Amino acid sequence: MAGLLAGHIAAVTGGGSGIGQGICQAYAREGARVVVLDVNLEGANETIGLIAAAGGKASAVALDVTDRAACKAAAADIAKGGNVSVLVNNAGINRRNPITGDPAAVAKDWDDILGINLDGVFNVTHAFLEQLRATRGRIVNIGSIQSFVHASWPNSAAYTTSKHGVLGFTRALAAELGKDGVRVNAIGPGLIETRINAAARANNPDMVAAVMRHTPLNRTGKPEDVAGPAVFLASDMSSYVTGCIIMADGGFRTL
Ligand SMILES: NC(=O)c1ccc[n+]([C@@H]2O[C@H](COP(=O)([O-])OP(=O)(O)OC[C@H]3O[C@@H](n4cnc5c(N)ncnc54)[C@H](O)[C@@H]3O)[C@@H](O)[C@H]2O)c1
């Protein structure tokens, strides 16, 4: 039986770890040819190995999303094998430090986090824009609970700002690209067990407890909890859905 993404070429940034790796695997299972883009080529290669072992098709490209020229070059190169019709902007980092801390460190956090989490989303989207318009494609941006709120995660002004920006970019592009048949949506994961928060989960049980008090499903998430919505948003199952954010957060904002 053909999968939900048969015939699609899907590019996933940050596909070498965590949520991105889970999305790559799910897309391949649904029949997409997956291009794993990551600054960490070792991680990207791990993902394509997992996909190949499961009988799927994938390739890996080393890409730093902050390098605008490299994004353009990678997109042009990938297009030689066919146009990308699904783009997932997933690459991201986080650091939690008070804005009142050492000024140089605060400024560096700001530049690094905004550079990857927000400028990076623009760089990659802009690089693939013509391919996505040509294919009437789909963009899936990874936001966060911090696209809306901040309370359970203090000391992360830059990250909160970047994820609010991702949601704003999602809505702006949905409005602008709808006429081209390009759908643009976001996913807001809750606390998902990945490398990005491994130290915080290990060293800060109070943070985990605070999040769980807001999580009706009463568990942390796994990458596959985000991969399901990502398949939905990339597939024709969501053909009339654009400009929205699907929260994959165990119900965080209901409590
Ligand atoms: N894990 C969570 O609880 C959670 C919650 C909400 C949102 N998110 C978001 O999900 C996304 C994925 O995070 P994750 O939890 O899987 O973390 P992760 O650290 O496991 O994966 C992030 C990936 O992004 C890649 N990356 C980092 N900088 C890059 C760059 N400059 N260019 C290209 N690739 C780069 C890393 O190499 C890594 O493979 C991020 O945008 C993160 O903000 C995560």
pLDDT, one tens digit for every residue, the chain (255 residues) = 589 999 999 999 999 999 999 999 999 999 999 999 999 999 999 999 999 999 999 999 999 999 999 999 999 999 999 999 999 999 999 999 999 999 999 999 999 999 999 999 999 999 999 999 999 999 999 999 999 987 777 899 999 999 999 999 999 999 999 999 999 999 999 999 999 999 989 999 998 999 999 999 999 999 999 999 999 999 999 999 999 999 999 999 998
Q: Which helix (H) or strand (E) holds 141?
A: strand 138-142
27 is catalytic: no
Q: 133-159 burial string, b = 16+ CB within 10 Å, else e?
A: eebebbbbbbbbbbbbebebbebbbbb
What is the C-alpha to C-alpha distance for residues 230 and 11, in angstroms, rounded to an integer? 12
What CA–CA distance (Å, rounded) separates 139 from 142? Answer: 10
The whole-angstrom separation of Cα 160 and Cα 142 is: 13
Of 27, 128, 159, 169, catalytic: 159
Q: How far is the CA of 160 from the centre of ligand 1 (A)?
A: 14
Closest ligand 1 atom to the C-alpha of 65?
32
> Ligand 1 mean position to 181 CA, how many Å?
28
Question: How far is it, in rounded angstroms, from Cα 206 to Cα 223?
Answer: 22
Nearest-CA residue for ligand 1 atom 30 is 64
Q: CA–CA separation, 185 vs 242, rounded Å?
A: 5
Give nearest CA residue, ligand 1 atom 23: 14
Cβ neighbours of residue 173 under 8 Å, at least 6 residues apart?
A: 125, 139, 182, 184
- The pairing of beta strand 138-142 with beta strand 33-38: unpaired
Residue 63 gets the label, from left (phi > 0), alpha (psi -120 to 50) or beta, of beta
Question: Which one of 19, 191, 211 would you pick to mutate in the ligand 1 pocket, going by the greatest count of ligand atoms within 8 A of its CB?
Answer: 19
